[in-house]
């Protein structure tokens, strides 16, 4: 079973690239973030043509999360708690049962700068996600929480840790909020396969950061032990970050040796 996650940075701008990638990567399940479309304008037919059912949760313009599945889709849930309470914060969580695996697509608030109200909202959101897991999920059953966490778990996930001192995405409270999810029962599937530094999933569009290898690994596939014990092939597809009109994120995919 191949599960992938990709912050596409607008489906309106990215649909041809996403269709192209789905055709050659052939994920069984693809979680997307920052679709930047409303439910009513989500391009469901384009994905149906490729053989995928879809669930989307978003209001347009900002945020928006989706799940595509070609192995069935049941029991879709959209949103949790109040997602920060404001309309602009909506569209950050959707989940569905795909085959025997509960899959969630999450878009964690960016947080902007350490100490800002947006930063606190990010920490609150991550805490709410943990509460949701405690109340609705079971770490002994197959679960994959995939998405743009806007947190680099460790310094090896940064191109130059010295340049991130005091910065958002790496602060201790953010990393502890992520670690609290793992403490509940989630494992970073990509790190089951690779230990080395320098493997990034996001690069700033500006200043040639991608071509200078200045990136971070903030897009994660977090799974419960029944899946963590069955990680096969895994990859961050840097090729999808090249060429015309790329997203600023690369897709992350993980194969699990399950039916």
Partner DNA sequence: ATGGTAGCGCTGCTA
Indicate which single residue of 61, 74, 136, 176 sits in contact with DNA (rule: CB under 7 A). 61
d(CA 103, CA 64): 16
Distance of alpha carbon 241 from alpha carbon 233, whole angstroms: 20
Does residue 24 carry a catalytic annotation?
no
Quick note: the x/- pattern for DNA over 193-222, rule CB under 7 A, is -----------xxxx---------------
What does the per-residue mask of binding to DNA show for 235-254, with x meaning CB under 7 A? ----------x--x------
What does the alpha-carbon distance between residue 199 and residue 189 come to, in Å, rounded to a whole number? 14
Choice between 182 and 204, CB closer to DNA: 204
Measured from the CB of residue 29, what is the shortest distance to DNA in angstroms? 23
Contact between 9 and DNA per CB under 7 A? yes
Give the integer Cα–Cα distance in Å for 138 and 33. Answer: 24
Listed ranges 11-19, 45-53, 134-142, 223-231: which one lies at the site for DNA (CB under 7 A): 11-19
Within a 10 A sphere around the Cβ of 211, how many other Cβ atoms? 10
> Does 194 qualify as catalytic in the annotation?
no
Residue 62 in contact with DNA, rule: CB under 7 A: yes
Q: How far is the CB of 61 from DNA (least distance, A)?
A: 4
Q: Which of 13, 48, 87, 134 binds DNA (CB under 7 A)?
A: 13
Q: Which long-range contacts (CB under 8 A, 24 or more apart) does 126-131 make?
A: 126/151, 126/174, 126/177, 126/178, 126/180, 126/181, 127/177, 127/180, 128/80, 128/81, 128/83, 129/80, 129/93, 129/181, 130/177, 130/180, 130/181, 130/184, 131/81
Stretch in the footprint of DNA (CB under 7 A) among 43-51, 59-67, 75-83, 136-144: 59-67
Q: Count of residues for the chain?
A: 259
- Closest approach of DNA to the CB of residue 157, in Å: 16
| Site of tokens 């569209």 | 91
Characterize the bridge pairing of strands 219-223 and 187-188: antiparallel
Task: Give the residue among 29, 133, 23, 34 at the shortest CA–CA distance from 81.
Answer: 133
The radius of gyration of the chain from alpha carbons, rounded to an integer in Å, stands at 17
Catalytic residue chosen out of the listed positions 107, 119, 132, 159: 107
Helix%, strand%, coil% for the chain, nearest 5: 30, 25, 40
Q: Does 5 bind DNA (CB under 7 A)?
A: no
**Applying CB under 7 A, does 10 fall inside the site for DNA?**
yes
**Shorter beta-carbon distance to DNA: residue 134 or 245:** 245
Q: Does 164 bind DNA (CB under 7 A)?
A: no
* Residue ranges that bind DNA, judged by CB under 7 A: 9-10, 12-14, 36, 60-62, 88, 109-110, 112, 118, 204-207, 245, 248
Q: Which residues are catalytic?
A: 107, 148
């Amino acid at each position: 079973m191949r599960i992938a996650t990709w912050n596409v940075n607008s489906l309106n701008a990215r649909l041809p690239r996403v269709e192209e990638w789905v055709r050659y990567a052939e994920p069984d399940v693809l979680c997307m973030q920052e679709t930047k479309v409303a439910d009513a304008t989500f391009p469901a037919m384009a994905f149906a043509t490729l053989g995928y059912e879809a669930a989307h949760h978003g209001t347009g313009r900002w945020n928006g999360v989706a799940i595509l599945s070609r192995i069935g889709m049941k029991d879709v849930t959209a949103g949790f708690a109040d997602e920060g309470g404001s309309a602009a914060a909506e569209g950050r969580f959707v989940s569905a049962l795909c085959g025997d695996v509960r899959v969630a697509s999450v878009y964690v608030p960016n947080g902007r700068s350490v100490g800002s109200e947006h930063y606190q909202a990010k920490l609150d959101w991550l805490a709410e996600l943990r509460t949701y897991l405690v109340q609705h999920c079971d770490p002994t059953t197959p679960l994959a929480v995939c998405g743009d966490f806007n947190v680099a778990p460790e310094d090896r996930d940064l191109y130059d840790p010295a340049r991130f001192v005091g910065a958002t995405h790496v602060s201790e409270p953010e990393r502890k909020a992520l670690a609290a999810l793992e403490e509940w029962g989630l494992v970073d599937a990509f790190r089951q396969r690779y230990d080395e530094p320098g493997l990034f999933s996001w690069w700033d569009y500006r200043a040639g950061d991608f071509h200078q290898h200045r990136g971070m690994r903030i897009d994660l596939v977090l799974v419960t032990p029944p899946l963590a014990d069955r990680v096969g092939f895994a990859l961050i597809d840097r090729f999808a970050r090249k060429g015309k009109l790329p997203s600023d994120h690369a897709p992350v995919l993980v194969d699990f040796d399950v039916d």
